[in-house]
Structure 1
Amino acid sequence: MTTQLDSTATEPVRPARRRRRLPDTAALAVVLVALAIFFSTQSPFYLTPNNLLNILVNAAVIGIIAAPGTLLLVAGQFDLSVGSGAAFIGVVMAWSATQWGIPTAVLLALAAGLVIGMVNGFAVTVLGINALITTLATLAILRGLGQVIAGGQTLLLSGFGDLGNARPFLDIPVPVLILVAVVVVMALVMRFTVFGRSMYAIGANPVAARLAGIRTRTMIFGGFLLSGLAVSVGGLILVSQLGAASPNAAMGLELSVVTAVILGGASLAGGRGTILGTVLGVLILGTLNNGLTLMNIDSFWQDVARGVLLLAAVGFDQLRLRFLSDK
């Protein structure tokens, strides 16, 4: 008798959860398709295979960094130092390559990304500093260190173009292949691993998660490490594509990453977000930037569009939270 009551009580819950999640990704898909249709009517070049591939290439670095950024936001944390971090990684790569060669420079750049994640994670989990203050501080620190190492100049780098420009498989550029790999791995981590489920629990209720035996500090620290590693990969791709490293590179990258993650349905309050939603958010941003460029819209208006998207996404999230709290 008890089993029957339990089964009937749980049956309505699953469809309700699906109904809450479906409109998020469905609405994003509709927006993406609508943008594609609009820009295809404005430019004959939009739907060409080369242009669609360009959208993916230009969105690759944002998507690579946004994937672990989703995991952090799900846990109620975020990393605003990713833009200056990517520029710093590029400078480390270019400077080290002239000293010890490209293989050693790649290892040093990856290690630098992990150190960035360790510093952010230590400040947040051990020192107890708010993630906003921590990553704003490291944003300034990394931008300044990049200027110091580069001497305020752009550093040229040759012999490292394959990572950002090679097309080894089905004429698909390496950055797109890396993006697909990162997205698949992060989706599996968030959905099927204890680490991923723990981050959801931490974001939903950190006190309850700690009482349930989840090592919240360790999990959040791991999230910042993944973010630092993704920043290092993104920075290496950027310097490979450009053949040079500038301490002023990747300006506004953190805005694009945060916009994509929140636009994808992740909540600032934590406990909510998916990699699929983030991917759709990244594609919407990439489509918008590409379409406006094809329409010869000034790049400053593209910044305005990204800001409006971020404001709309956060506003929608706040309205959703208010609606749920009223119920």
Structure 2
Amino acid sequence: MPETSIPTAAAPPAPAPAPARARRQVSIPTSAALLVFLAAEVVFFSVRSPFFLNWANWVNILTALAITGVLAAGATVLLIAGQFDLSVGSGVAFVGLVLVLAAPAVGLPLAVVLAVATGIGIGLLNGFLVTVVGINALITTLGTLAVFRGLTLVIGGGQNIPVQGFDFAIQRPFLDVPVPALVFLVVAVLVAALLRFTVFGRSMYAIGANPVAARLVGIRVSRKLFAAFTISGACIAVAGLLSTSQLGSTSGTTGTGLELAAVTAVILGGVSLSGGVGGMLGTVIGLLIVGVLSNGLTLMNVDSAWQQVATGSLLIIAVAFDRLRQKVFRSA
């Protein structure tokens, strides 16, 4: 008898996978959190001092942070690319020294040219050591910080050296705002546009996020980083001219601590230490947070030593927040 096959019931089709739930992440921009913190500072110091909200006081705040802000603009470009420049403070002093020593011999216009070339040369030196020789940026710029600080002290003899006829920084050409504050605003706008609207700016973010991947997609990483250090050198030159004009002189201690102030503002403004994140807007807000804090504490007659403690604490908080943010994004 032929074998008959008993048809088996067809297996039911596998149920279609349930559509994955779109994971909703509530993303609060770093700049928004910074603005809230800045607003809290303004409210607090407005209550504590009747002079805080005066226009003249805000002009003082902008003027006080102008030189740090110019340096922070260059630091923003570098940190986005995952690099550092800690030589900016001693670079400012050395640029000023070149200016005050050259002015009596060759005249102010040529001395200014030489000072600008000196600042750019510092950036070129740092860029060469990092991108061509291959030394770590942190070690390189720590070394050049010591070199130019030492040269300033040796060549200048540890003296405060004045310069005559170079007082453009005390002029107030617009809304009673001094030239350094206006220069800082121009530099901030230029750097913001550079980072946001140019191929070079996008390359900085790509290099900071993943330098190997950036190289694989055709970005000339070494060349771009060399250009970034050159931009930092140009900012050193501008800051050196502003500092010398404001003070009317330079000395071996000029610019001490500017590297810490610039890095504090940049990191506080949301630029990640690992690179690839941040922008000039955040840096400006970070500068205002530090500037308002220092100004408010001064109006409250808080000792300058405690102001340094507060600034250092802000840097630690900013770095801690940066690390926490990275962990949250990795786990999300």
Tell me the TM-score normalised to structure 1 length.
0.92
Structure 1 counterpart of 2:280, from 252, 275, 293: 275
The runs of 5 or more residues in structure 1 that have no matched partner are 1-11
In 1, Cα distance between equivalents of 2:53 and 2:135: 47
1:179 shift after superposition: 1.0
Structure 2 counterpart of 1:165, from 163, 170, 174: 170
- Identity among equivalent positions (%) equals 56
Q: Which residue number corresponds to residue 258 of structure 2? A: 253
In 2, Cα distance between equivalents of 1:155 and 1:306: 30
Deviations 1:19-69 (CA, angstroms, capped at 9, x unpaired)? 64x431011111111111111111111111111100000011111111121
1:99 shift after superposition: 1.7
* SS of residue matched to 1:126: helix
1:171 shift after superposition: 2.3
2:48 is the alignment partner of 1:45: no
1:168 shift after superposition: 1.7
Q: Which residue number corresponds to residue 36 of structure 2? A: 30
Q: Which amino acid in 2 is paired with 1:117? A: G
Structure 2 counterpart of 1:155, from 147, 150, 161: 161
Q: Which amino acid in 2 is paired with 1:160? A: F
Structure 1 counterpart of 2:141, from 118, 135, 146: 135
2:78 is the alignment partner of 1:72: yes
* SS of residue matched to 2:40: helix
* SS of residue matched to 1:286: helix
Q: Which residue number corresponds to residue 98 of structure 1? A: 104
Equivalent pairs, count: 311
Q: Which amino acid in 2 is paired with 1:34? A: A
In 2, Cα distance between equivalents of 1:151 and 1:99: 18
The runs of 5 or more residues in structure 2 that have no matched partner are 1-21
Structure 2 counterpart of 1:303, from 305, 308, 315: 308
Q: Which residue number corresponds to residue 220 of structure 1? A: 225
Q: Which residue number corresponds to residue 322 of structure 1? A: 327
Q: Which residue number corresponds to residue 229 of structure 1? A: 234
1:114 shift after superposition: 0.7
Q: Which residue number corresponds to residue 296 of structure 2? A: 291
In 1, Cα distance between equivalents of 2:102 and 2:43: 46
In 1, Cα distance between equivalents of 2:258 and 2:148: 14
Deviations 1:273-324 (CA, angstroms, capped at 9, x unpaired)? 1100000000111101111111111111111111101101111111111222
1:196 shift after superposition: 0.2
1:326 shift after superposition: 2.2
Q: Which residue number corresponds to residue 55 of structure 1? A: 61
1:210 shift after superposition: 0.2
* SS of residue matched to 1:134: helix
Tell me the TM-score normalised to structure 2 length.
0.91
Moved more, 317-326 or 219-228: 317-326
1:262 shift after superposition: 0.3
- Flag the structure with larger Rg: 2
Deviations 1:155-180 (CA, angstroms, capped at 9, x unpaired)? 01121111x11112232211111111
1:136 shift after superposition: 0.1
Q: Which residue number corresponds to residue 200 of structure 2? A: 195
1:325 shift after superposition: 2.0
Higher helix residue share: 1
In 2, Cα distance between equivalents of 1:151 and 1:323: 52
